[in-house]
Amino acid sequence: MTDVGPNVPLSSNDVPTAGDQSDKDSSRVNIPPPPPLEERQAQVAPQVQERLPNPTGAKWLLPETRPEHRGRKCLILDLDETLVHSSFKILHQADFTIPVEIEGQYHNVYVIKRPGVDAFMKRVGELYEVVVFTASVSKYGDPLLDQLDIHHVVHHRLFRESCYNHQGNYDLSQVGRDLKETIIIDNSPTSYIFHPQHAVPISSWFSDAHDNELLDLIPVLEDLAGPQVSDVSLVLDVAL
């Protein structure tokens, strides 16, 4: 969310990250090149397909995989500037508005859907266990997703409480799914700084009606969802 009126952080764009504070959307993280393929394979070899008991006693962010999602990989989606753009300022092209309570008063948030988001969500919902993981607060994210998720394909919602300890960055190892079968799509590379080899990059979106990045990603995600890809990190390290 941008152009925020009330001085209360609601969306992921209002949360400081460990990266460049001055230009979140245009910043890029200087990540060292990945190690040789043989070394990466050795690093992931000890991992198992199913979740292991957590030795620290800490809770996983997600519950056990539902029976209908077993055999599917996990796709984690960011919300703001990845799937939608929202603002407290009036947006005449808004697809919908949501009321958000801030300090006892309700304010309208105007939301524009990224082109192709409906078709994108429908298709990934057929292929993946879909999780929206955002640094937005739930009182903003929940009503937004209630209207955005018209196909009812978002199986889990994770909000600021799940990632705030890492200054807005996502620790995929805490999600509770096999990392070899976990993919994240986020417009901000700082958000997946812990697991860049699991990310499918996408540019920040604000209002371009001719944007087609979500639709362009569908064939990529169809390929990654297949059984021929046993470790997404090895493919994404090389391909993207």
Q: The tokens of 186 are what?
A: 């986020």
Annotated catalytic residue within 78, 149, 178, 186: 78
Q: Distance between CA 65 and CA 50 in Å, rounded?
A: 10
Inter-residue contact 192 to 19 (CB < 8 Å): no
Annotated catalytic residue within 80, 149, 178, 186: 80
Report the candidate in 119, 234, 232 with the shortest Cα–Cα distance to residue 185.
232
- The reported pLDDT for the residue numbered 19 is 43
Q: Cα–Cα–Cα angle for 234, 199, 2, nearest 5°?
A: 175
Say whether 146 is catalytic.
Answer: no
- The reported pLDDT for the residue numbered 163 is 59
Q: Distance between CA 61 and CA 44 in Å, rounded?
A: 22
In the chain (240 residues long), the average pLDDT of successive 10-residue segments reads: 54 48 38 43 40 51 83 96 97 96 94 99 98 90 97 93 61 87 94 91 97 98 97 83
Say whether 80 is catalytic.
Answer: yes
Q: Distance between CA 12 and CA 165 in Å, rounded?
A: 14
Which domains are seen in the chain, by residue range?
68-83+115-239 (3.40.50.1000)
- The reported pLDDT for the residue numbered 51 is 39
Q: Cα–Cα–Cα angle for 209, 221, 48, nearest 5°?
A: 145
